[in-house]
Each structure stands twice: as C-alpha cells, then as structure tokens.
Amino acid sequence: MIKTSFAAAAALALLLPAAAMAELPVGAAAPDFSTQGALAGKVLDVNLKSLLAKGPVVLYFYPKAFTQGCTLEAHAFAEASGDFAAAGATVLGMSNDDLPTLQKFSTADCRDKFTVASAAKPVIKAYDVALNVAGVSTGLTKRTSYVIDQSGKIVLVHSDMDYRDHVTLTLEAVRKLKAAH
C-alpha cells in the first residue's frame, strides 16, 4: 500500500508542472510587454502595444536559437514573411536567449525578415508558456504560437513541438482577420 501511494504521488508530481503550463486561451487579453530584440542583427526595443497599433501580431515562442527545430521554424516564418505582411501582420519570435544570440539568429536564421526578442520570466509567466529560464525549470519546453488581433485579443493558440504547422495555422488566422475587416 505504501509503495502504491508513493508511486501515485510521484506520478502526480510529474504531472503537476506540465499541468501548470497551460497556454492562454482564445479570447483572452494578450498581456502587454516591453523587451529588447533584434532585427537584421540590430538591437531594438519591442513593445506589444506598439506592434498592435500597426495590425495583428503573430507571437511565437521557441525553445532555443540555433537548434534544429527552431532554425527550421525561423526559416519557415522568414519564407512566409511576405504573406504575413500582405495580411497586415507582424511576426515576433521570442525565446529566453541572450541579446547577442538573438542578434545572430535574426540574421542567420530569420534571414533579416522579422524580429526576435528576449522573453524574460515575467513574459513567460504572463503567456503561460513552457520555456526554461536560467535557474528556473518550467517543465518541458514547448513551442507555442499566438495570433493576437489588433484589439489585443488572442484569436489563435497553437502549441506543438513540431514546428511545421505553426506558420500555416498562424497565416491562416491572420488572413481570416484581414478578410473580416
């Protein structure tokens, strides 16, 4: 009986961190943030409210620059950058990489097409995404994309470690927003 209880408690403990990380739901207000990022290797200030003033925002969280999946995802967003621009959307990638790494990634893998920015603990917590931060493990790292309409409401959430559907689904969502206006 004690072994069974211990095993059940251990299993529950393993599930709790994952359950604690549940993305924000569709319809929720997107938390505003200000941070630093890079576009074409140049450092810039990034503010969600300012980006939304221009149109919808595709905010995607990726685990770590220069890893295979994140590189392929960045290439896919870069290749579709003209389509996102035609739909009036801004693409913003976020990870907890340091600024020098983001500068290199913005040029090498984002191909100077969109901004990548630093996701500090408050942003990670506000968006309820699973990204590991130095000294703080949030459980399994996830790849999560949000589409935020110009009013600041989340209209799409896609969370899947497979990068391949992130571009397709977010582009479809911003095209629907454009068609609705």
Whichever domain contains 57, its CATH number is 3.40.30.10
pLDDT confidence of residue 132: 60
Number of domains in the chain: 1
* Residue 160 counted as domain residue: yes
Mean pLDDT, all residues of the chain: 84
The model's pTM:
0.83
Task: Report whether pLDDT(44) > 60.
Answer: yes
pLDDT confidence of residue 163: 82
Better pLDDT: 76 or 181:
76
* Residue 10 counted as domain residue: no
pLDDT digits (tens, 9 = 90+) for 70-125: 889 999 999 999 999 999 999 999 998 999 999 999 999 999 999 999 998 899 88
pLDDT confidence of residue 169: 96
Better pLDDT: 128 or 111:
111
Alpha helix segments (H runs only) across 109-163: 121-127
Name the CA dihedral angle for 160, 75, 156, 44, rounded to a multiple of 10 degrees.
Answer: 120
Among 160, 165, 148, smallest CA distance to 48 is for 148
Question: What is the maximum span of the chain, computed from C-alpha positions, in angstroms?
Answer: 63
**110 counts as catalytic:** no
Task: Walk across the sheet containing 42-47 and list its strands.
Answer: 42-47, 34-39, 115-118, 90-95, 57-61, 144-148, 154-159
| Catalytic pick among 21, 30, 46, 70 | 70
Residues of the domain holding 59: 23-180
CA 111 from centroid of its chain's CA atoms:
18
Residues 6+ apart with CB under 8 A from 142: 21, 61, 63, 129, 130, 131, 159, 161
